Structure 1
Amino acid sequence: MDKKDLLSNREEAIALFEIYKPLLSFESVRRFEEYYYDDLSLAEICEFEDVSRSAIHDALKKTLKKLFFYEDKLEILKKRKKIAKSLSDYKNASGMNKENALKRLLEELENAI
C-alpha cells in the first residue's frame, strides 16, 4: 500500500486493527480509536493531547505501518477474506459447482489453520 494512502483506507485499517489490536501499545490504540472510531480530526486529537498535529499524524501512520507489517507476516486478514470468498462461492453454487466450491472452502480452511 502506498504510504500516502495509509490514513485514507479506513475500512482495511479498521479490519487490521480489530485483528492486531492486542499487539499495539495503549497509546496507539487510544489514538487509533479516537481517529477511526470516534471520528475525531487530527486537530481535535492534538488539542486534547496538547501535541502538534504532525505528531498525531506521524503516530497514526506509525500504527498503520505496524498493522500492515503484522498482516504482511501473519496474513490473518488475507486468510479470512479467502475463506469468506470460498464460503460465498459455496453458498451461491449448485450441482457439481457446489461440490468444487466445497472442496475449495475446505482447502482454504485447512490452509488457515
Structure 2
Amino acid sequence: MIEKKIRLGNLFIFYGQLLTRKQQEILKLYYIHDLSLGEISENLGISRQAVYDTLKRTEKLLEEYEGKLGLLNKFLKTRCKINELLVNIDYLIEDIDKNFDRNYVLEKINDLKKMTLEILEESS
C-alpha cells in the first residue's frame, strides 16, 4: 500500500495538472492528507461511492498518462544513473587518495564524462 501511495504521489507530481480540480482535490485528500473515503465525502458533500469512483478513475488515468508519456519512468532511470555517477566519483576520489596515477585518473574522468553525456542524451 505504501508503494502504491508513493507511486501515485509521484504520478500526481508529473501529471496532476492534467486532472480536473475535483480529481486533484480528492487525490490529495486521500493520498496526501490520508483522509478516509467517508471523511472526503463529508468534506466535499458528495457520496462515498462518488469519492471511490473518482479515485479509481483518476488512478487509472494517471497510469494511462504514464504509459503514454513515461515521464516518471524516465525520471527514475535518470535519478538512478546520477546516483551511479556519484558513487563512481566517490570511488575515483578514494583511488586518487590511495595511488595517484595520472593516466588512470584521466581514464576514469573520461568514463564519468561519458556517463554524464549518456544521461543528458536520454533526458532530452
- For the 8 Å contact 1:13–1:64, the answer to whether it is kept is yes
- For the 8 Å contact 1:83–1:105, the answer to whether it is kept is no
Alpha-carbon distance in structure 2 between the residues aligned to 1:51 and 1:86: 45
Q: Partner of 1:35: helix, strand, or coil? A: helix
**Corresponding residue number in structure 2 for 1:74:** 69
Instruction: Determine which structure has the larger helix proportion and give its number.
Output: 2
- Which residue identity is paired with 1:67? L
- Which residue identity is paired with 1:86? K
**Corresponding residue number in structure 1 for 2:5:** 10
> Mind listing any 5+ residue stretches in structure 2 that lack a counterpart?
93-106
Q: Deviations over 1:8-58 (max 9, x none)?
A: 710000000011111000110011111112211011111223333222111
Q: Give TM-score, length-normalised by structure 2.
A: 0.75
Percent of aligned pairs sharing the same letter? 32
Provide closer, same or farther for how the CA distance between residues 81 and 29 of structure 1 changes in structure 2, counting only shifts above 3 A: same
Deviates more, 1:71-80 or 1:94-103: 94-103
Q: Structure 1 residue 23 and structure 2 residue 23: aligned?
A: no
Q: Give TM-score, length-normalised by structure 1.
A: 0.82
Q: 1:83 aligns with which of 51, 66, 78?
A: 78
- For the 8 Å contact 1:82–1:108, the answer to whether it is kept is no
- Aligned pairs (5 A) from 1:33-112: 33-93=28-88, 94-95=91-92, 99-100=110-111, 102-112=113-123
Alpha-carbon distance in structure 2 between the residues aligned to 1:8 and 1:56: 21
- For the 8 Å contact 1:16–1:68, the answer to whether it is kept is yes
**RMSD of aligned residue pairs (Cα, Å):** 2.2
Deviates more, 1:74-83 or 1:7-16: 7-16
